[in-house]
Amino acid sequence: MSEIVPLDDRLLTAEEVAELLRLPVSTIYDLARTGRLPHLRIGRALRFSRHDLETHLAERCRAQITARV
């Protein structure tokens, strides 16, 4: 069974994610390509869910805090 992806929020482009995270667009593509940033591939285009990005970043922050303790 496939997971349902809600489309009630607008999907972001790599350029928009780069602006939000204050990173170069090339870094966003690299992070997505290596599986370190959640993304959707629609044809040749990459799109990003703001909710998935926020969840991913929160988990990464919690993991780093736990590792320090």
Domain count, the chain: 1
Q: Is residue 4 assigned to a domain?
A: no
In the numeric block, which tokens belong to residue 35? Answer: 């599986």
Given this model, what pLDDT does residue 62 score?
Answer: 86
Q: Is residue 42 assigned to a domain?
A: yes
Task: Quote the CA–CA distance of 11 and 50 in Å, as a whole number.
Answer: 7
Q: Is residue 5 assigned to a domain?
A: no
Residue 30 belongs to domain spanning: 14-68
Q: Is residue 8 assigned to a domain?
A: no
pLDDT digits (tens, 9 = 90+) for 22-48: 999 999 999 999 999 999 999 999 999
Q: Is residue 1 assigned to a domain?
A: no
Q: Is residue 37 assigned to a domain?
A: yes
Task: Quote the CA–CA distance of 46 and 11 in Å, as a whole number.
Answer: 10
Quick check: pTM over 0.85?
Answer: no
Task: Quote the CA–CA distance of 40 and 46 in Å, as a whole number.
Answer: 6
